[in-house]
Every structure is written in structure tokens, then in C-alpha cells.
């Protein structure tokens, strides 16, 4: 049996204070490091992904291009590039943008409590999605994403809505 992936526990200054299995961290709502990748094309369209329907939280919801957790000893950029390849089937360079702390409880009793690093990249082609992670994908103009979140908030992940509301002006190349 594969060992459960561990997340990096951090304090409010993003200093590492330990490691914990991912599910346990979400059950206990412990602050841990994460990242959210936003890939934008030359038309200022954001590549969105629809999370796979069998995910243990936020299944079937639309969100940013990919997101996950850094591994012990892995930089934000290294982690973002790794997950982009694993989930969306391509590699592009990423740059660190902003970071923030958020807490979002889910109906299933789990809570995301993350120190989230927003990573921005550029790409023009179609992804080759991993069906274990992603149900669907689409390009959507950034301004339309902002409007659609207001119209249909229930189809988007909590962290994505928080990023868009607070940090819309930073989501550029």
C-alpha cells in the first residue's frame, strides 16, 4: 500500500513546523502550505479545470488550472510544475505571484486551511488531462470568469472564489 502523501505544516509566516498526512491535516483544519496555478494564454483567457468527480472534496467543481501541496524540500515553482504535468499533461514556466491564508470548511467535515501560493504561467496549446484528477477543462476570458463566479458561485471551488475576489488584479502575466 502506498504511503499517504504528507503536507507541510506552517505557521502564519509560512515557516515549516512539521509534516502531516494530507487527509489528517484536512480533518484537523491544520494550517499547511499549498499552491494554486493559473495558466493564461495570449488572449487573456484562463485555463480552468473541472475537478474529477471522485475527488474527496470539491468533486466536479470548476477551479484554476491546477492546485496541490508542496512536498517536503520542494519549492513552490517545482511543485507547481510537477502538478501541472501530472494533472494537465504539460509543462510551462511559472512565476510566484501572491500568497495568502484561507480557511474553507466543506460539507464532508474536512477543512482546507492553507497558506496558498499563487503561481502564474503562460501556455497556448490544449492540455492532455489526467482523468484521475480532471473531469474536463476549458479556456475562459479572465473577465468572464469573474462575472460567472458572481452568477454561479456553487460551480466553483472555495479557494478559487477567494483568490478571484481578493486578488483578481494580480491574475495577469
Report the pLDDT value the prediction gives residue 166, as an integer from 0 to 100. 74
pLDDT score of 81: 98
Dist. CA 95–CA 173, nearest whole Å: 9
Q: Average pLDDT, stretch 2-7?
A: 80
Q: Please say if the pLDDT value at position 3 is more than 70.
A: no
Query: pLDDT grade, residue 171 (50/70/90)?
Result: low
DSSP for 21-50? EHHHHHHHT--EEEEEEEEE-TTSEEEEEE
Using pLDDT thresholds of 50, 70 and 90, give the confidence band for residue 154.
very high
Give tens-digit pLDDT for 55-113: 878 899 999 999 999 999 999 999 999 999 999 999 999 999 999 999 988 777 888 89
pLDDT in tens, 110-126: 888 999 999 999 999 99
Question: Can you give the pTM of this predicted structure?
Answer: 0.92
pLDDT tens sequence across 24-47: 999 999 999 999 999 999 999 999
Residues annotated as catalytic are 67, 114
Q: Check residues 105 and 172 and name the one with the higher pLDDT.
A: 105
Amino acid at each position: 500500500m502506498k504511503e499517504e502523501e504528507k503536507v507541510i505544516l506552517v505557521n502564519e509566516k509560512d515557516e515549516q513546523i512539521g509534516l502531516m498526512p494530507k487527509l489528517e491535516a484536512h480533518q484537523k483544519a491544520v494550517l499547511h502550505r499549498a499552491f494554486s496555478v493559473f495558466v493564461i494564454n495570449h488572449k487573456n483567457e484562463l485555463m480552468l479545470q473541472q475537478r474529477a468527480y471522485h475527488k474527496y472534496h470539491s468533486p466536479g467543481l470548476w477551479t484554476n488550472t491546477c492546485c496541490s501541496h508542496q512536498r517536503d524540500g520542494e519549492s513552490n515553482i517545482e511543485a507547481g510544475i510537477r502538478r501541472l504535468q501530472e494533472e494537465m499533461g504539460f509543462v510551462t514556466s511559472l512565476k510566484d505571484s501572491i500568497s495568502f491564508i484561507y480557511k474553507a470548511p466543506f460539507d464532508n467535515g474536512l477543512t482546507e486551511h492553507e497558506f496558498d501560493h499563487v503561481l502564474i504561467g503562460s501556455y497556448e496549446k490544449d492540455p492532455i488531462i489526467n482523468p484521475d484528477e480532471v473531469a474536463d477543462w476549458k479556456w475562459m476570458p479572465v473577465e468572464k470568469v469573474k462575472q460567472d463566479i458572481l452568477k454561479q458561485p456553487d460551480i466553483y471551488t472555495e479557494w478559487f472564489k477567494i483568490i478571484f475576489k481578493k486578488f483578481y488584479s494580480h491574475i495577469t502575466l
